[in-house]
Structure 1
Amino acid sequence: MRIAVTTPTGNVGRHVVAMLLRAGVCPRVLVRDPGRLAPDIRREVDAVVVDQRDAEAVVAATAGVDALFWVDPPSAGEDPLVDYELATASVVSAVEANGIERTVFQSSVGAEKRHGAGEIDGLAGTELALDALGATVTHLRCGYFFTNLELQLDAVCAGVIPVIFPLDEPLAWVAPRDVAEVAVTRLLSTDWSGRCVQAVHGPADLTWPQAAEIVSAATGRPLRVERISDDAMRNLLRSAGMTDGLVDAVVGMSTGLREGFVPEQPRTLDTTTPTTLAAWAYDVPRPQLSRTVQ
């Protein structure tokens, strides 16, 4: 079985690669910088240097593969949705030109809204384009990644996480490793076809204060959440060096999914995955925070 994996050093992609290797599959990894691959992984995979927004290069890199794990690469540009359109054109060209039998696309809860959810609108565009091909594709509608907290490590150290999401509205929180497990199951299975949507909700829906309490207990650091205004969040993101376009895209992910948004897929046995936020927080940010003290 020939399987191609994009973003192989990302939060999900690195787990996908490792799981495929353990399954006896040598994946073809599409990577912008092979030097970011761990040396032991690089020896075991077929690494191809590719810019995922270069459709011609992606078509060449995926020639002959049976299945594709596609993640739209992150954007730091002025208009992230334009970058998403370029990535979408690449995956559509590859699936169509190479007759790829199965594609697993890492999407997000909120993509079903199609418009008005900031950066998630870019994922919705990829979903729609793959659907228009009539391709065999599974869209993974993922919850809020635990690893997003690593981007706020300074705030965690300071003891206060600023958010613009309502503090009493629960979110589906999920470990990227669990997303990878669902993706690999689909990639290795040949017993499905057509368009599928698979939500990946993690073990529990949590409000921000509940999540902060869990992380605080796991790390031994006092932590609380403070809701701030949308404009205050925009100023924080700009001060971190984000472009105005990226600020709007990031803020839009929260503003578009609050106050009345209902996910298309309810939580079920099939959408619930096992890794808890407490276990992840103990394994990942706890050691990171310990190093900041030393």
Structure 2
Amino acid sequence: MRIAVTTPNGNVGHHLTRMLVRAGIRPLLLTRHPESIAAELAPYVDVAEADSQDAAQVVAATRGVDAIHWVDPSVMSDDPLTDYARATDALVAAVTENRIGRVVFQSSIGAEKRHGVGEIDGLAATELALDALDIDVTHLRCGYFFSNVLLDPESLRAGRLTTVLPVDAPMAWVAPRDIAEVAALTLLNREWSGRRVQAVHGPEDLTWARVAALLTEELGREVVVERISDEQMRQGLLEAGMPEAMADAVLGMSTGMREGFVPEQERTAVTTTPTGLRGWVREELVPALAATR
């Protein structure tokens, strides 16, 4: 089975690539920067240069592929939803022209709303486009990545987290490695068919207050969380260099799921994954903070 992986250096992709290699698969890695693939992987992978928003490049790179793990790349953009649409068009063209029969799509909790969830609206549109094709497709509706706390490492070092969500509202938090594991198992499992939605909820729902408390315990210094206004969040994103449309799309991912949102998929043995926040902090956050000091 020929499996292609997009964003192979991403939070999920770098785990997924190594899992497939360990499973005896020689994955095809699609990337805009082939030189960025780790040298240690070179004997075990094939690499194709392709921009996920360029249909011609994606079609050319995926000839002979049987299955693909697809990520709509989030890039700094003046028009992020149009970029998502271009990525969707590239995927649909590749699946159609190359007769790729199986897709595992990295989506998000909130995509079931279809509209009003910022950047996630782009993922919802990809889901709908894939559902319209005569293929086997699994949408991985993922919770909030643990790794998102590293988006602002300086604030984290200073002991401050910010959110526009209620700090005592529980939601699904998940380790990117667990998403990669579900993706790998889904790609390798030949028993499923048709359209599937597979939520990836992590081991437990966490509040922002609980996250701050766990970080305080594990990092050995106080970490507090502050709920800020939507406008404060937007201004902070703009000051960080985001274009207005991008800032609005990022903010919308939180505000669109703030009032009474309940994920379509319940927490069950199927949607629950094992890696807890405490373990992730020890294994990944602490080394990452040291590396970016």
Specify the TM-score bucket, using the shorter chain as the normaliser.
over 0.9
1:181-224 per-position Cα deviation (integer Å, ceiling 9, x unaligned): 00011111111110000000000100001011112211112101
Match of 2:34 in 1: 34
Alignment partner of 1:165: what SS? coil
Q: Contact 1:30 / 1:48 at 8 angstroms: preserved in 2?
A: yes
Q: Give percent identity, aligned residues only.
A: 58
CA distance in 2, matches of 1:291, 1:75: 23
Distance, in Å, in 2 between the alignment partners of 1:200 and 1:285 is: 20
Moved over 4 A (4+): 290-293
The 1-side partners of 2:25 and 2:51 are apart by 23
Pick closer, same or farther for the CA change 1:241–1:280 going to 2, 3 Å: same
Partner of 1:104: 104
Residue range with higher mean Cα deviation, 39-48 or 267-276: 39-48
Aligned residue pair count: 293
Name the residue aligned to 1:25. 25
Unaligned runs of 5+ in 1: none
Q: AA paired with 2:183?
A: A
- What is the SS of the residue equivalent to 1:85? helix
Deviation, 1:162, is 1.2
**Is the contact made by 1:219 and 1:289 (CA closer than 8 Å) also made in structure 2?**
no
Deviations 1:75-121 (A, max 9, x none): 21101000000000011111111111210000000000000000000
Structure 1 counterpart of 2:274, one-letter code: P
Secondary structure of 1:25's aligned partner? coil
Distance 1:279 1:122 in 2: 32
Q: Residues 49-88 of structure 1 correspond to what in structure 2 (within 5 A)?
A: 49-88=49-88
Measured against aligned partners, the alpha-carbon deviations of 1:95-148 in whole angstroms (never above 9, x if no partner) come to: 111111210000000000000000000000000000011321000000000111
CA distance in 1, matches of 2:73, 2:187: 19
1:174-213 aligned within 5 A = 174-213=174-213
Structure 1: which amino acid aligns with 2:277?
A: L
C-alpha change, 1:42 and 1:74, in structure 2 (3 Å) is: farther
Letter in 1 for 2:122: G
Per the alignment, residue 267 of structure 1 pairs with 267
1:229, CA displacement in angstroms? 0.4
Q: Secondary structure at the match of 1:29?
A: strand
**Corresponding residue for 2:258?**
258
CA–CA distance in 2 between the matches of 1:207 and 1:139? Answer: 25
Structure 2: runs of 5+ lacking an equivalent: none
Partner of 1:245: 245
> Distance between the aligned counterparts of 2:189 and 2:101, measured in 1?
11
Q: Secondary structure at the match of 1:26?
A: coil
Task: Measure the CA separation in 2 of the matches of 1:59 and 1:208.
Answer: 42
Cα 1:291–1:77 change in 2 (3 A) is closer
Q: Does 1:218 align with 2:214?
A: no
Matched, 1:227 2:220: no
Q: Which residue matches 1:12?
A: 12
